Chain A
Amino acid sequence: MSRKPFLIQDEALAAISDRITDLMARIDALINAPNAADETRLLDDIDTMKRDLNAELIARHPPPGWEELERRAERINH
């Protein structure tokens, strides 16, 4: 007999959580062995992760007027 899951995990957010875990491990490595190039890449990856997280959160709960803004932006791009 299959049981219904008690909780459902959002896959996209779980993937971002995994990325944050990876970023934290990279910080540990940098504390132990400083490396300027690795640090620059780390900071870039943190920025990318934050942008992706924002996009996911906006997709779930778009702020008022967001869809209209997106439509207008799309008209500009094409």
Chain B
Amino acid sequence: MGAKDNRFRETYRFLLDLTKPENFDLAEQIAKLKAVRKFTPMLRDGLRLVLALREGEDALLRDEMPSRASVRMLETLFPRLVKYIADRHHAERLEALQRELAELRARVDIAGVRLPEAERRPALDDIPALEIKKAVSTGAGKNFLSAMKGLKA
């Protein structure tokens, strides 16, 4: 009996309900992968990926760092995607910082502009005193009544 025959192997089976559209799509993909003999490696990678993502998510939920192994696996499997997500978040943080600075600049600009000292608070001596005079009739009432008579005619 050779060493090859002593390897411990297990077969796993699972069912796909093809009446569900998402399963039907999967079945199509499985058929394509099997045709190029990539179904089993893809299944292993898929399981490892989901387990690593779940482990990382749970760690972050507990305010802990995800394990280096799971992060490395993500970076190895999807280097461009991981970099894209990191860059996008990085750009978002910088844009938020830029918005904060724009708001700060607006406040600094408002705080830095003021009226000239002399015009801000006029001296009391410079304010003209109000003078109250009795109104003098200019015959406006008579003129108004005359105009009304004219309208009647």
A residues near B, CB below 8 A?
Answer: 4-10, 12-14, 16-17, 20-21, 23-24, 27-28, 30-31, 34, 46, 53, 57
Are B97 and A27 in contact (CB-based, < 8 A)?
yes
Closest 8 CB pairs of A and B: A13-B112, A10-B112, A20-B105, A27-B98, A17-B108, A31-B91, A27-B94, A7-B113
Contacts of B95 in A (CB 8 A): 27, 31
Chain A interface main SS type: helix
Chain B: residues with Cβ within 8 Å of the partner, total of 21
Interface SS, B side = helix
Across the interface, do A13 and B116 meet the contact criterion of CB distance under 8 Å? no
Contact A17 B105 (CB under 8 A): yes
Q: Are B114 and A7 in contact (CB under 8 A)?
A: yes
Considering the chains assembled together, what is the distance between the CA atoms of A75 and B115 in angstroms? Answer: 38
State A71–B73 Cα separation when bound (angstroms): 59
